[in-house]
Amino acid sequence: MRTSSGRGLRPNVLGTFDTIVMAVAGSAPAYTLAATTAVLVGAVGFAAPAALLSCAIPMLGIVLAYGRLGRIDVSAGAGYSWVGRTLHPFLGFLAGWALVVSATIFMVAGSLPAGQLTLWLTDPALAGNTALASAVGAGWFLVMLLVVLGGARLTVRAQIIMSGVELLILLVFVLGALAHHGTAAAFDWSWLSPWHFGGASGFASGALIAAFYFWGWDVTSNLSEETRNSRRTAGLAALVGVAVVFLIFEAYTIAVNVVVPAGEVRSGGAHALTLLGEEIWPGVGGRLLVLAVLLSTVATLETTLIQVTRSLFAMGRDRTMPAALGTVHRRWNTPWVAIAAVGAAALALFAAATALGSVGDILAEAVRAMGLQVAFYYGLAGLAAVVAYRRLLLTSVREFLLGGVWPLLGSAFLFWAFAEALGSLDGVSVAIGLGGLALGLVPLLWYWRRGSAYYRPARLDAARTLATAGPYASAPYGSAVPGARRDDGETLATDF
């Protein structure tokens, strides 16, 4: 894989288990539950489990799309590469840019709560100090930045420890909820029914919020160049990861319905998970779940850093962003220039965020803006999978449903969510979300005019690619195949 330094990312570092761990951590189960449960319950009440179920079905279509695209094009840029080679290079660049912007915003949206939670565990009175929370959060961010700089193997080892403890704590409280005599409401199967929303507007509100729960599993695709047997592993790990976090989300949302009165959940805000912990295990439960949320927040900072730095690395390698971003560290085989650039940008945002208001205000605005960008690039990836496999869709019922209908359904759902959000969000969130996307037009037009080869792509066609895979079936996945070239003669290191 060509970079400005002639070096590439280190291949075959991660196995299937490692990649599944990264997929689960990317969706940040404890952090997501703490940050979003009160909002979801406030929007749809007892129908929160149904909202998650309704969103999981189309989201699985996007997971399938990523897995299928990863089989025919292994690239650290993931959607940036796939969309560019199927729909249009301009759309591909904007898909990659949307991930970069949303992930960079999350550096603040995730780091500030990490600082606040750390302060709460030591002295709850300090948790409301935004400046101090920003400083502590920046410290966590810098630690994760150094871990990511140290390479994929170090990254996944840290991830196994953090996510392992987090999931163990969450499992203990799921079992505790089963043994607990609910004081708020008796379980009702109607909570899982799509007819429990009270109309189309209620469904829309719940679906838009629930869509944010699942974001992050696609880190497996950004790690594909560093994964063994990645043409199969990345997609499988994403599927398993989404299934695991879906079960966690459903179990905890149902537990909240049963154990904690809805009024307390709404008024508790980000402390909804703490309320559940105190009900199940008075005196200790709240602190343990706060620890789980802290570990989840730090863990997802790490996976988000992986996503944004690998995406920038792919852009630098393709000369659609400064070529220095494609430079790889000689010892650690990590895109150190991209990592340094993200670190500098995030620290500047920390300084700006300190003057904007409370942690809760910053988090709310950031999540709304990120939602627009995530729906945009996930939706484009769903369409890209259908286009790439278009010549195979009618070869079998399975291919038609799993390769065409389901990804297309997921894409349509996310574009609908995007449009719905534009009409319901406040001006600040829309300005950040759409303004962040619009900024991408500057490097897009600049490097397009300079003649980057990315804008003259070899079209991604699954029928042709899979037909030529036979002679190279024994070759390591993710390695270059001699003679595979772009139309302009440039070697394609990520193709069959």
pLDDT tens digits, 348-386: 877 776 666 555 555 556 666 777 888 899 999 999 999
Measured in Å, how far apart are the chain's first and last C-alpha atoms? 13
Identify the residue whose tokens are 């988000």: 304
Mean pLDDT of 250-270: 75
> Helices 16-27 and 29-44, interaxial angle, to 10°?
40
Q: What percent of the chain has pLDDT over 90?
A: 45
Structure tokens belonging to residue 359: 């942690």
* Of 278-282, 341-345, 404-408, 491-495, highest mean pLDDT: 404-408
Mean pLDDT of 487-493: 35
Identify the residue whose tokens are 């988090």: 363
Structure tokens belonging to residue 435: 């303004």
Q: Which residues contact 203 (CB under 8 A, 6 or more apart)?
A: 51, 54, 194, 197
**Whether residue 496 has pLDDT greater than 60:** no
Let me know: does 12 contact 19? Beta carbons within 8 Å: no
> Helices 89-122 and 441-449, interaxial angle, to 10°?
140
- The pLDDT-based confidence of 212 (bands split at 50, 70, 90) is confident
Determine the pLDDT at residue 489: 34
For the stretch 288-315, pLDDT in tens is: 888 999 999 999 999 999 999 999 999 9
Q: What percent of the chain has pLDDT over 70?
A: 84
Q: Which residue has the higher pLDDT, 205 or 241?
A: 241
Domains of the chain: residue spans and CATH: 16-463 (1.20.1740.10)
Determine the pLDDT at residue 197: 66
Determine the pLDDT at residue 455: 95
Determine the pLDDT at residue 8: 78
Listed range (147-151, 195-199, 329-333) with the worst mean pLDDT: 195-199
Which residues does residue 14 pair with via DSSP β-bridges, in sequence order? Answer: 227
Q: What is the CA radius of gyration of the chain?
A: 22
Residue 73's Cβ-side half-sphere holds a number of Cα atoms within 13 Å equal to 32
Q: Which residues contact 426 (CB under 8 A, 6 or more apart)?
A: 368
Distance CA 487, CA 496 (A): 15
Which has the closest alpha carbon to 384: 9, 105, 65, 57? 65
Beta-carbon count within 10 A of 341 CB: 20
Secondary structure class of 479 (helix, strand, coil): coil
Let me know: does 300 contact 216? Beta carbons within 8 Å: yes
**Whether residue 485 has pLDDT greater than 50:** no
Mean pLDDT of 278-283: 80
Indicate whether this model's pTM tops 0.75: yes
- The pLDDT-based confidence of 480 (bands split at 50, 70, 90) is very low
Distance CA 385, CA 101 (A): 23
Name the DSSP class of 494. Answer: T
Longest distance between any two alpha carbons in the chain, whole Å: 68
- Per-state percent for the chain, helix, strand, coil, to nearest 5: 75, 0, 25
- Cα distances (Å, whole numbers) of residue 410 to 70, 72, 349, 363, 415: 17, 20, 32, 26, 9
What torsion, rounded to 10 degrees, do the Cα atoms 19, 491, 313, 6 define? 110
Let me know: does 138 contact 113? Beta carbons within 8 Å: no
Determine the pLDDT at residue 111: 82
* Of 110-124, 212-226, 267-281, highest mean pLDDT: 212-226
Mean pLDDT of 383-400: 95
Distance CA 341, CA 321 (A): 12
